[in-house]
Structure 1
Amino acid sequence: MNPFIYLASQSPRRKQLLEQWGVRCELLLPDEGEDVEALEAVKGAEAPAAYVQRVTGLKLQASVERLRRRGLPLAPVLCADTTVALGRRILGKPADAAEARRMLADLSGQQHRVLTAVAVARPAARGAVRQWAALSVSQVTFDAWSAADIRRYVASGEPMGKAGAYAIQGAAALHIRHISGSYSGIMGLPAHETAQLLRAADVRLAC
């Protein structure tokens, strides 16, 4: 069994969830000069599910290359990416407060999807790599947000860096009427799917 994994994500939520599940992880963050944000660019009329799985695969490939380039001890690598979809429209991370306000106004009173793709690679000697991947899709329904609610929430800073301009574990939860699917997946790392991938990669879990 592998005693630890590399987590190629800057999300503190993902690290916290993995530690709750008994997984010891070391961060494998990009080198200076790596343009990880460029990997998140949407291609044309790309469907949300295809988009989030493609981006996660690209991030995993870049992370395995980073691991080998640094000469680090071999261990499984985990990547994940989350996107919010309103119909076929992909809502990524807002570029600024104005875009965050527009996203939240569009989500107000609507049901939308939160898609999180997870991928795990287990590199071995001589360049061999085994990979596993999964996709979690959840439904979230917001009640109506007033313009004042949106302004206050955006002013808190919480929406920045979050797909769809909100975090379910934060103040936005006060406006969520219903969810269907994986709560941890909406946070950014679906528990059930992640556990399946880690077990396939022979990673030790709490249970």
Structure 2
Amino acid sequence: MLHPILSELSLTRIVLASGSPRRREILNSTGLTFDVIPSKFDENLDKSQFESPVDYVKETARRKTDEVRERLSISGKASSLIIGADTVVALDGKIMEKPTSKSDATSMLTNLSGKTHSVYTGVVLSKVLQNGTLKQVIFHEKTDVKFGNLPTEVIKSYVDTGEPMDKAGGYGIQAIGGTLVEGICGDYYNVVGFPLHHFCVEMLKLYDNKGGTQN
């Protein structure tokens, strides 16, 4: 989908402000050439200060992106385009963190069993325009995920694999955790960690001098 602007993008230094291997793999599929510089932003924003998971995830993505841009600017290695993202899992509007222990992971998955939860990703495109000014496009994607009814032994066996421990919500849809999912409504790649189609749409707008959407 980005092929009409790939030649222009090949002349642009692009930075992915995330250390997520899943985001890197998804972005690689577009044909883009980019550097990976993980953000050092400490993700400690007070969730109670945000009206919704959408507001939280977009602000976290913005802070991640800004941290990388400021660090590159200080080092004299500024980038023309920085891509930042953050993904959260929410059940009934409450954000679920990464589990802190096996018992915590078990509790999370038990709560998700038989229910539909939402995965939100906030994305920031931070671009330096030809006149030297900075333009930021901030958007989000939501995907609803329905878990099957999970027997206790299934949850325990999955937790024992260790896979849930570094995943928001305690599962990874792209791996063993996909077997727990009965169905999804929305972008699969968003659940993995990066809304691929929406990203391409916003990039085409941004590089056609139409700007992007704020939604």
For normalisation by structure 2, the TM-score amounts to: 0.84
Once residues 65 and 80 of structure 2 are traced to their aligned partners in structure 1, the CA distance between those partners, rounded to angstroms, is 13
Query: After superposition, what is the alpha-carbon deviation per residue over 1:159-180, rounded to whole angstroms, capped at 9, x for unaligned?
Result: 1221111111111111211101
Runs of 4+ in 1 over 4 A off after TM superposition: 124-127
| Range that drifts further, 18-27 or 1-10 | 1-10
Q: Is the 8 A contact 1:5 1:26 kept in 2?
A: yes
Change (3 A) 1:20 1:146: same
Alignment of 1:5-84 (within 5 A): 5-30=14-39, 34-39=40-45, 41-44=46-49, 46-84=51-89
| Range that drifts further, 156-165 or 173-182 | 156-165
- Superposed CA RMSD in Å reads 2.1
Change (3 A) 1:181 1:99: same
Q: Is the 8 A contact 1:111 1:139 kept in 2?
A: yes
Q: Which runs of 5+ in 1 are unaligned?
A: none
2:151 maps to amino acid = S
Cα displacement (A) at 1:38: 2.5
Would you say how many aligned residue pairs link Structure 1 and Structure 2? 199
Alignment of 1:111-150 (within 5 A): 111-123=116-128, 128-150=133-155
Match of 1:162 in 2: 167
Cα displacement (A) at 1:45: 6.2
Change (3 A) 1:17 1:60: same
Cα displacement (A) at 1:60: 1.5
Cα displacement (A) at 1:98: 2.0
Match of 1:104 in 2: 109
Change (3 A) 1:103 1:125: same
Q: Is the 8 A contact 1:115 1:136 kept in 2?
A: yes
Alignment of 1:177-192 (within 5 A): 177-192=182-197
Q: Is the 8 A contact 1:15 1:25 kept in 2?
A: no
For normalisation by structure 1, the TM-score amounts to: 0.87
Q: Which runs of 5+ in 2 are unaligned?
A: 1-7, 209-215
Change (3 A) 1:161 1:127: farther
Match of 1:173 in 2: 178
Once residues 85 and 170 of structure 2 are traced to their aligned partners in structure 1, the CA distance between those partners, rounded to angstroms, is 18
Tell me if 1:2 matches 2:9: yes
| Identical aligned residues as a percent | 32
Change (3 A) 1:45 1:135: closer
Once residues 113 and 50 of structure 2 are traced to their aligned partners in structure 1, the CA distance between those partners, rounded to angstroms, is 24
Q: Give the structure, 1 or 2, with the largest relative contact order (CA under 8 Å, sep 6 or more).
A: 1
Tell me if 1:90 matches 2:90: no
Cα displacement (A) at 1:146: 1.7
Q: Is the 8 A contact 1:74 1:124 kept in 2?
A: no
